[in-house]
Structure 1
Amino acid sequence: MKKLIVLITLIVCGAAIIFGNIHWNNKISAHGEEMKNTNREASDENVEEDIKLDISTYSSNLPKGLQQKMNNAISSGKPLQLVIYGSDATSDEEGAWPYLLTKQLKGIYGEELFNVTVLSEGNKTTLDVVEQKSYEEVNKLKPDVILFEPFMLNDNSGVIGVPNTINNIETMIKSWEESNKDVTILMQPTNPIHGATFYPKQVDELKVFAETNKIIYLNHWEKWPELADETMKEYLIDNSQPNEKGNKVWADFLINYFIAK
């Protein structure tokens, strides 16, 4: 009987040890998995913080509102809709300044932050665009940001006149802001041309309009040769639209604005 009691005691103790080990191993395993998940979440948060840090570094030239939109886009995973809108000088062809700008935006900020659409009105004037209401095509794209080149060179015929040009531009902007009160509008002139006299005065009026209405004005003209300089012709096709060299100087200005070094 004494031997039987000892045997039973040994069996009970052995079972207790075995079940205890199993319980302990399960607890350690669960804790380890919990730590893995915690570390994974922390790692994901660190990656997101690193991205935000990079955004903050490269976007320092941009308005605060746009910087916030970019951070929100990263957090939500929903890309910003950037619409580049303008005349035939704003081409969607490879090698044109919108193409060069888009390539750099995606190279620095990643493929998913900006969804870029280029809309060109060709040789239309502001009057043509307003009468045809083709500017409303911009609204259909639900833009967060509009980079607007308002056909100033096409209006340089003397027929429309600067006051009418400004009124037409106001009509377009009003429509975009009514469609999205939070839209960010960045305005820029069409390319300069050699030997122009009246045209630069029109562009000056555009700058005044932008500043008066607190619209950011991107004056890429400062990177081109002087209007009277013969070398200006090297940047243009038939002293009109930008060639490869002209597109590059225009793109470089915008790249340096969107991507601070």
Structure 2
Amino acid sequence: MRNVLLAVLLIISCISFIVAGHLYWQKKIDVTVRHAMTEATEFQATQKRMAYAKKLPAEVQAKIKRAIETNRPLRLVIAGSEATPAAKDGWPALLRQQLEAAYGNKVFQVVVKEYKGMTTKQAIEENIAGQLIKEKPDMVLWEPFLLNNNGVIDINDALAHIDKMIKTITAALPDVTIMLQPPNPIDNAVYYPKQVKQFQTFAKEKGYIYIDHWQAWPDYKSNELNKYVDPDTDLPTKDGQKRWADFLAGYFIAK
């Protein structure tokens, strides 16, 4: 009888061990499967967001990918004159909204630095480069005051100012990406469009990233431009702010 009891207890112990082992491994498999499914979902989400970046320069794509994978937003500083307003209805704010809608709110941290009335000469004198460095940007999208320079600063001097500021910023922040763009076009200008063309040529020759949003605006010789740029202030209207933002959104977000 005692032997039978021991045999029964042994069988029960074996069954308990087998069941416990099965439950343990089942739980471990479930955790592994869930982990794999989570990784697969995250990978798909990353791939989807990276597809939006496919038209951007390789160094910008790499920064976006790192921001997604590390959950550390890349700091995008948008800087310029009053043509780059910090107001909530300005094109930088409209662009930020579209970036967040596409990439989520943890990929770009947008900071807007508006310098009203600033010329490139004043930017050198007031050390605007130093102010931008203090923001510790990963990327700077810069509209460098050419409209305020118009009729005041010679374009060759302006380009020298711009180059000096870029070199100051990149010396302090070797990994920063500088992206240049002109201010908005203005109605029936004579010298200003030529200056913007020289600015574009300068950027190409220096190897700087240049975003040509002028192709999104009506011809500066046409009356249609007045819908988008106020002829009294030479600044974008509400429609102009949207047009500028939409063009840049198309640059940053491939469809």
Q: State the TM-score, normalizing by the size of structure 1.
A: 0.94
| Rounded Cα–Cα distance in structure 2 between residues aligned with 1:86 and 1:200 | 18
* 2:47 is the counterpart of 1:53: yes
| Rounded Cα–Cα distance in structure 2 between residues aligned with 1:99 and 1:179 | 27
**Two-structure CA RMSD over aligned residues (Å):** 1.1
In structure 1, the residue matched to 2:57 is 63
Match of 2:176 among 183, 203, 208: 183
> CA shift at 1:40, angstroms?
2.2
| Rounded Cα–Cα distance in structure 2 between residues aligned with 1:233 and 1:193 | 8
Match of 2:206 among 202, 213, 233: 213
Q: State the TM-score, normalizing by the size of structure 2.
A: 0.96
* Conserved? CA contact 1:194–1:239, under 8 Å: no
Match of 1:26 among 17, 20, 29: 20
* Conserved? CA contact 1:151–1:190, under 8 Å: yes
> CA shift at 1:47, angstroms?
2.0
In structure 2, the residue matched to 1:3 is none
* Conserved? CA contact 2:91–2:244, under 8 Å: yes
- Structure 2 gaps of 5+ residues are none
Match of 1:137 among 131, 134, 143: 131
* Conserved? CA contact 2:50–2:64, under 8 Å: no
Question: Quick one: percent identity of the two aligned structures?
Answer: 36
* Conserved? CA contact 2:49–2:102, under 8 Å: no
Match of 2:185 among 160, 185, 192: 192
Q: Once the two structures are superposed, what CA deviation does each residue of 1:167-205 show, in whole Å capped at 9, x if it has no partner? A: 110111011111221211111100000010100111011
* 2:53 is the counterpart of 1:89: no
In structure 2, the residue matched to 1:228 is 221
Q: Give the number of aligned pairs.
A: 254
* Conserved? CA contact 2:180–2:211, under 8 Å: yes
Deviant stretches of 4+, over 3 Å: none
> CA shift at 1:85, angstroms?
0.7
Corresponding letter in the other structure for 2:121: L
Q: Once the two structures are superposed, what CA deviation does each residue of 1:239-258 show, in whole Å capped at 9, x if it has no partner? A: 51101111111111101000
**Aligned partner of residue 170 in structure 1, secondary structure:** helix
Match of 1:162 among 118, 143, 155: 155
| Rounded Cα–Cα distance in structure 1 between residues aligned with 2:172 and 2:129 | 12
**Aligned partner of residue 242 in structure 1, secondary structure:** coil
Q: Once the two structures are superposed, what CA deviation does each residue of 1:4-51 show, in whole Å capped at 9, x if it has no partner? A: xxx112211111121112211221121012112211221222122112
* Conserved? CA contact 1:93–1:99, under 8 Å: yes
| Rounded Cα–Cα distance in structure 2 between residues aligned with 1:36 and 1:123 | 62
